[in-house]
Amino acid sequence: MGVLNVTPDSFSDGGQFIAPERALAQARRMIAEGADIIDIGAESTRPYGAQPIPVEEEQKRLEPVLAAVVALGVPVSIDSMKSAVVAWALDAGAVIANDVWGLQRDGGMAALVAQHRSPIVIMHNRDEADATIDIMKDIAAYFERSLAIAAKAGIATENIVLDPGIGFGKTQHQSMTALARLDELKVFKLPLLVGASRKRFIGVISPSEPHQRLGGSIAAHLLAAQRGARIIRTHDVAETVQALRVAAAIEDKR
Ligand code: HH2
């Protein structure tokens, strides 16, 4: 899954793809490099300093790019926590909803996703990190709540993807734990998505700016794939695809 942020303030690529022609060129490039899904977001979810924006602004940023990216022929997911934005994007050709609040924030999201029969990424999140909790237990309990909401709304199980939400409502160590113990989430018997790309825990282990975290991102993503992640969300498609292919080919020789 290649990340396309049409935002001025995303933590690693804010402002880079806000111009529609640059966003489209980036989508084309990621597809050529092997992305199977393009995830478009127009509101930053960074933990510090993100500007919450109204529906109209989010839609205004998406409008000049979404249909053009859809026309490239690869499934597009819409990264938004607002059901009004997701509804608009699904009508404009996006086919996957990516909700960083896992159906638990916007009361209209579950019914919308059920009605469209679209796949939904349910991501774990918390308002505040709490270093004292067992993060794996918290993630599992959160998924149970999201899955109950999904079932009640009539969302088909085969349309659900789970994501531990690396960097969301977690301490840096809890993000590492979620990656280290990702295989425990296999009990849900649903596909797992992981997005560790350029995130802050990498800079904690190895001091670096977001654009200098490619090596750390690849390390995290390879370990995630080994522990069962089926979808990897990344800003750096070519390098990640190569790493995953090499790891899979070597694994195949065992
Ligand atoms: N991470 C980000 C945004 N959306 N969605 C899912 N399902 N999983 C993630 O890990 C995830 C996500 C944050 O990364 P990015 O989009 O690059 O940053 P920003 O939110 O600042 O735009």
Q: Using a 6 Å cutoff on CB, does residue 123 contact ligand 1?
A: yes
Average the pLDDT over 53-63 and give the result.
96
Three-state secondary-structure class, residue 114: helix
DSSP run (H or E) holding 29: helix 20-32
Contact 188, 145 (CB under 8 A): no
Active-site residue identified among 199, 213, 227, 253: 199
Q: Using a 6 Å cutoff on CB, does residue 233 contact ligand 1?
A: yes
Residue 51 has a pLDDT of 79
Which atom of ligand 1 has the smallest separation from the CA of 167?
A: 10
113 pLDDT band, cuts 50/70/90, is very high
Q: Using a 6 Å cutoff on CB, does residue 99 contact ligand 1?
A: no
Can you tell me the distance from the alpha carbon of 14 to that of 172, in angstroms, rounded to the nearest whole number? 22
| Two tokens, residue 226 | 């080994």
Measure 33 CA to ligand 1 centroid, in angstroms.
20
Residue 2: inside a domain, yes or no? no
| Contacts of 49 by beta carbon, 8 Å cutoff, 6+ apart | 9
Q: Using a 6 Å cutoff on CB, does residue 121 contact ligand 1?
A: yes
Residue 173: inside a domain, yes or no? yes
Residue 139: inside a domain, yes or no? yes
Residue 94: inside a domain, yes or no? yes
User: Which domain covers residue 211, as residue numbers?
Assistant: 72-252
CATH number of the domain within which 141 lies:
3.20.20.20
Indicate whether 48 pLDDT > 90: no
> Distance between the two ends of the chain, CA-based, in angstroms?
27
Average the pLDDT over 59-77 and give the result.
97
Residue 142: inside a domain, yes or no? yes
Residue 46 has a pLDDT of 80
Residue 160 has a pLDDT of 98
Residue 20: inside a domain, yes or no? no
Known active-site residue 170? no
Residue 200: inside a domain, yes or no? yes
Indicate whether 228 pLDDT > 80: yes
Residue 177: inside a domain, yes or no? yes
Can you tell me the distance from the alpha carbon of 82 to that of 178, in angstroms, rounded to the nearest whole number? 26
Measure 24 CA to ligand 1 centroid, in angstroms.
19
pTM of the entire predicted model: 0.97
Average the pLDDT over 85-113 and give the result.
98
Indicate whether 47 pLDDT > 80: no
Q: How many domains does the chain have?
A: 1
Residue 200 has a pLDDT of 97
Known active-site residue 233? yes
CA-closest candidate to residue 230, choices 30, 93, 101, 37: 37
Q: Strands 96-99, 120-123: parallel, antiparallel or unpaired by DSSP?
A: parallel
Q: Match 């402002």 to its residue by tokens.
A: 15
Residue 36 has a pLDDT of 98
pLDDT in tens, 159-209: 999 999 999 999 999 999 999 999 999 999 999 999 999 999 999 999 999
Q: Name the phi and psi angles at 234, rounded to 5.
A: -140, 155
Q: Using a 6 Å cutoff on CB, does residue 236 contact ligand 1?
A: no
DSSP single-letter state for residue 78: E
Pocket test residue of 1, 221, 233 for ligand 1, highest count of atoms within 8 A of CB = 233
Mean of per-residue pLDDT scores for the chain: 97
pLDDT in tens, 17-37: 989 999 999 999 999 999 999
Can you tell me the distance from the alpha carbon of 7 to that of 13, in angstroms, rounded to the nearest whole number? 8
Higher pLDDT: 85 or 18? It is 85
**DSSP per residue over 146-215, as a string?**
HHHHHHHHT--GGGEEEE--TTSSS-HHHHHHHHHTGGGGGGG-S-EEE--TT-HHHHHHS---GGG-HH
